[in-house]
Amino acid sequence: MSPSQFKQDKHKLLAIPGPIEVTDEVLEAISKPPISHVGPEFVTIFRESIFMTREVLFTQNGQVFIIAGSGTLGWDQVAANLVEPGEAVLVLHTGYFGDSFRDCLQTYGANVDEVKAEIGAGVDVAALEAALRRRSYKAVTFTHVDTSTGVLSDAKVRSASDGSYPQSRGGVGSI
């Protein structure tokens, strides 16, 4: 079936962080038989996905992780694998997801500081830079698009503020 022949059924618009609405082209692509996760076709697709993700995140050689799961799975992976109990993490807070990421990190024993934005606004760059001067952090986290408040954080500014720490960027609603 060619892409022009495939049309999804009419349905109510799904406007939540995830799962998300997808185009007819995406639905057609995922209707194909699965491929082996160790086969050459998958390796090529995954490599291309890594390069494209780096482009979206404004890095040429940064280590990106593509997670086949929810945003909360991503938080859990960061908290369990990148941060040891007692280590300092800075959460850039723009809404509900900042609260949840903070709670997850604290569950794993991280010492969490937050830079909170006013509702509907991004974190102030001067406040971020002041926090980075006050203390050394193992990691800095932010939600790229916080659907709870409609805030789009400027990933390029966040990256340029200080590149000496790992960053965790929640991208469920943006990438």
102-122 pLDDT per residue, tens: 999 999 999 999 999 888 888
Q: What angle do CA 106, 110, 113 make, to 5 degrees?
A: 85
Phi, psi angles (nearest 5°) of residue 118: -70, 150
What's the confidence (pLDDT) of residue 141?
86
Q: What angle do CA 51, 56, 61 make, to 5 degrees?
A: 45
Question: What is the domain-level CATH number for residue 77?
Answer: 3.40.640.10
What's the confidence (pLDDT) of residue 40?
95
Q: Is residue 149 part of a domain?
A: yes
With a cut of 70, list the residues of the chain below it in pLDDT.
1-4, 16-19, 152-153, 155-175
What's the confidence (pLDDT) of residue 18?
62
In sequence order, the 6+-apart residues with CB closer than 8 A to the CB of 76 are 104
| Neighbour-count burial of 175, counting CB atoms closer than 10 A to its CB (0-12 exposed, 13-18 middle, 19+ buried) | middle
Place of tokens 């903070």: 102
- By residue range, what is the domain housing residue 136? 71-170
Q: How many domains does the chain have?
A: 1
Q: Is residue 119 part of a domain?
A: yes
What's the confidence (pLDDT) of residue 160?
46
Q: Is residue 148 part of a domain?
A: yes
Q: Is residue 151 part of a domain?
A: yes
Q: Is residue 27 part of a domain?
A: no
Q: Is residue 34 part of a domain?
A: no
Q: Is residue 114 part of a domain?
A: yes
CB 117 within 8 A of CB 93: yes
Q: Is residue 157 part of a domain?
A: yes
Reading the block at residue 77, the tokens are 């992976």
| Neighbour-count burial of 116, counting CB atoms closer than 10 A to its CB (0-12 exposed, 13-18 middle, 19+ buried) | middle
What's the confidence (pLDDT) of residue 50?
92
Strands (E), 13-138: 88-93, 111-116
